[in-house]
Chains A and B, each alone.
Chain A
Amino acid sequence: MVVMRGRDTTSSTGPRHRTCSGPHPCRLPDLVNRCLPAGRHAPANLCDVDERLLLVEDDTDIRDIVAHALEQSGFQVTSEVDGRQALIRFRQNPFDVVVLDIMLPSLDGLEVCRKIRSESEVPIVMLTAKTDTIDVVLGLEAGADDYVTKPFEMPELFARIRAVLRRVIESPMGPAFSIRGLQIDPSAFRVLKEGRPISLTPTEFRLLLELARRSGQVLTRDILLEQVWNYEYSGDSRLVDMAIKRLRQKVEDDPSNPQLIQTVRGIGYTLQRG
């Protein structure tokens, strides 16, 4: 079982063993269930180890309610009020997922996001106060995997957390393959570019994998949103655009003049076979 998590190298616990039974222990089923309200399923029947979640939110009421709801759903929640504190906490303990508010005292959410991303591939879901402004774009540029705008309903946040975690935990199937100088090993979550490993977040990895497996085809933003982000309808296409931008930074020789991942104007993206 492969579990990517933040700061794997410093993690004192390492990959934890789960006591679930079944052919694919602790994969999708328990995550889906954990995102349902507690009480409807007895946690003992599922997993005894919770996903560790760092919640950074400055408003006490929202923090308490969201933390409570997440805990009830089986997450092991650590709450932080302040950006700087959150960063310290993140460096002390390993987390499986980070839920990050943008407006924070002392160190704003974007900066926290950027710092976490420079150290780890942990999935980050942003809570943003604004829908249509530059905030979303900045957050995605800083490395967030997804976002939820305030006010939100809990199932919406669960769905986003579930989707980013699924990208980490559910390892893609299939044998390793090579395309245009990239060696992609799906089950190991590993990409080598000309022999050197490239560090990708799970979102970026899934995105690259999706494009590489269907190379030569043009994939629309909607298809990518569905396949990578698990949106069924009307997700924000900026999620795709910004992730492509980050991915290009890592895999292209010259990110400003991408050769590998091409934009098809008005339609989507394609990875040419070469």
Chain B
Amino acid sequence: MRHPIRRGGFRWRLTIAFILVAGVSAGVVAIGAFLMIRAERENTFLERTLRESRLSLSLAEETIAQPQEPGDVRRFVSRFKRQEDFEAVVITDDDSFSSTTAIGPSHVPSELTPATGPAELPTTDIDIEGKPHLVVGSTLANSDSEFYFFFSKRHLSEESSKLQTILLRDWIAVVVLSGLLGSTLARRTLRPVSRASRAAQALAEGLLDTRLRVDTDDEFGVWATSFNEMADALQEMIDALSASHEREKRFTSDVSHELRTPLTALMTSASMAKQHLDEMGPGGRWYAEQMIRQATRLRYLVEELMEISRLDAGRESITREPVDVGELVDSVISSRGWKGHVSLHADEVAVSTDARRLERIIANLVANAIDHAKENARVHAGKDDAHVFIEVADDGPGIPSEHLPHVFDRFYKVDPARSGGTGLGLSIAAENAKLLGGTIDVTSDPGNGTRFVLRLPVTGPLPDGDHGVASTRHSSQVDTTRSQPRQ
């Protein structure tokens, strides 16, 4: 299972931190630079305006004769018409002159008191129709006329906003770059972590030879080494376990095969002895009967061991064919002489599966139910959306919940005092169910019985017309006393 990286993850946080650090520091630098440059510019501008104003005042002193002639003043003012961003307004006692129509005496700020000489010139900032201007005011020494010079700050504010734009653009670039850099760096830094995560996943999925590359000797290198050591240990352990499991399986298989030959000799003799029981004396007969019974028990045990070892070997094949489930359950029950012990309710269900294995599962579940039932075992075969199910229930003592997870374990007996059965039946049923792609679930209500449910996947539509199968149910004379040892 892959775990997606969520927001708020380490990489995310690292990227955000990078952006914050770069953004804040670049922002501080940019704002500082901006303020400094703007102050410097304004200073320069101010000096220039004062210089220009003084120059103009001294010019006025020279060109405007006393007493004033309006013509002189008009000439003086008109010189400014050629100057861009530099206008003059002269207010005499009875008149006023302006170098431009846009600016007149009304624009002179009232708070500005004109200086009496060019030494200390007062300045004021004003807005004329939204455009910032610096106004310098002064009078001449020998006249009452007031001279005001208007300097447009257009250039200054244009420069300042241009500077602002450049700095903002650069700042954004720095933030984006730092974000990318942060993300890349984070990814690179965290690469060993994601590699390790993938490796751990692979290990979990069973690829036990997965190892991490150790290409640095930093913390991650050490970590990778430890990870690999852990994987080595894990692999060794699992190898050892599976080897011992293999040995165990082989042992089971060998033992059951080796047992088979003497057991066959024993069974054949025992079955012949059974035929001669009548000829034995009462003392000998009892022992012979015991021996026959135990030989039979041993036979079932060995057969089931063999079956388990075949299932373990995983070489069992399945032969699918359409199977009428109700029919099969019915034949399992009648052929084993269980009619009186089982109540059967079967819906019309067909499934494509291996009939022999299904029969084995049903027989084992029903045998188990009969073994534990107080009165009757109940079997219900039916079908829901995706499964064919066979439910086998008994009304016996039930299974305490702590035993429930183990009922399919080999040789597991809930009540060790009970001697019936080999302890392999349910485990064989479960293995066969697995082979057919099905499951067996068990639920139990202590005191009221246990319920096993076998579910098989419905493997697609089956050809209808199982009428021929039904005709097998004629089953001539039901001879349930006949031994059915083949199963």
Contacts and interface: CB of A to CB of B under 8 A. Distances in A.
A180 interface: no
B485 A220 contact: no
Interface in A139-185: 149-157
Interface in A10-63: 36-37, 39-40, 59, 61-62
B486 A150 contact: no
Nearest to A63: B265
Interface string A60-95: 011001100100100000000000000000000000
Contacts of A268: 468
A136 to B, nearest CB: 11
Contacts of B487: 234
B268 A132 contact: no
Given A62-B265, A150-B260, A150-B261, A131 B306 contact: yes
A265 B316 contact: no
15 contacts: A39-B276, A59-B261, A62-B264, A65-B269, A130-B306, A131-B303, A133-B315, A149-B486, A150-B261, A151-B264, A237-B355, A266-B462, A266-B463, A267-B465, A268-B468
B276 to A, nearest CB: 6
Contact of A151 (B260, B331, B476): B260
Interface in A234-250: 234-237
Contacts, number: 122
Contacts of A107: none
Best-buried of A39, A72, A154 by chain B (most CB within 10 Å): A154
B268 A69 contact: yes
Contacts of A232: 335, 475-476, 479, 482
Considering the complex of A and B, which 4 residue pairs feature the smallest CB-CB distances, nearest first?
A: A266-B322, A233-B335, A153-B271, A37-B275
Interface string B357-399: 0010000000000000000000000000000000000000000
A252 interface: no
Given A37-B276, A266-B323, A66 B268 contact: yes
Given A151-B299, A266-B463, A132 B271 contact: no
Given A220-B469, A233-B334, A266-B466, A153 B257 contact: no
Contacts of B61: none
Contact of B265 (A36, A61, A72): A61
B267 interface: yes
Contacts of B316: 132
Given A39-B276, A151-B302, 9 more contacts: A59-B261, A62-B264, A62-B265, A150-B263, A152-B264, A232-B475, A233-B334, A233-B335, A266-B322
Contacts of A130: 306, 310
A207 to B, nearest CB: 17
Nearest to B320: A266
A149 to B, nearest CB: 7
Contacts of A154: 268, 271-272, 275
Contacts of B30: none
B265 A133 contact: no
* Prevailing SS type, chain B contact patch: helix
Contacts of A233: 331, 334-335, 475, 484
A154 to B, nearest CB: 4
A151 B267 contact: yes
Nearest to B265: A61
A129 interface: yes
Contacts of A133: 310, 315
A39 B279 contact: yes
Best-buried of B261, B275, B276 by chain A (most CB within 10 Å): B275
Given A151-B302, A152-B267, A62 B483 contact: no
Nearest to A155: B271
Contact of B468 (A152, A155, A220): A220
Interface in A113-145: 129-133
Contact of B359 (A131, A218, A234): A234
B272 A69 contact: yes
A216 B462 CA distance: 23
Given A131-B306, A156-B483, A266 B469 contact: yes
A234 B448 CA distance: 33
A37 B479 CA distance: 21
B209 interface: no
A58 to B, nearest CB: 9
Interface in B447-479: 462-463, 465-466, 468-469, 471-472, 475-476, 479
B262 interface: yes
Nearest to B479: A232
A164 to B, nearest CB: 16
Nearest to A221: B472
A232 B299 CA distance: 22
Interface string B248-268: 000000000100111111111
Contacts of A65: 265, 268-269, 272
A27 B266 CA distance: 32
A51 B200 CA distance: 71
A155 B481 CA distance: 13
Contacts of A40: 275
A151 to B, nearest CB: 4
Nearest to A134: B317
A264 interface: yes
A253 interface: no
A61 B466 CA distance: 47
A188 interface: no
A153 B476 contact: no
Contacts of A234: 331-332, 335, 359, 484, 486-487
A133 B486 CA distance: 15
A209 interface: no
A226 interface: yes
Contacts of A157: 268
A218 B331 CA distance: 19
B209 to A, nearest CB: 33
Interface in B317-342: 321-323, 331-332, 334-335
A220 B471 contact: yes
A96 interface: no
Nearest to A219: B468
Contacts of A264: 468
B125 interface: no
B334 A61 contact: no
A72 B113 CA distance: 151
A222 interface: yes
Contact of A218 (B267, B279, B306, B468): B468
Nearest to A220: B472
A72 B271 CA distance: 13
B483 A153 contact: yes
A192 interface: no
Nearest to A103: B261
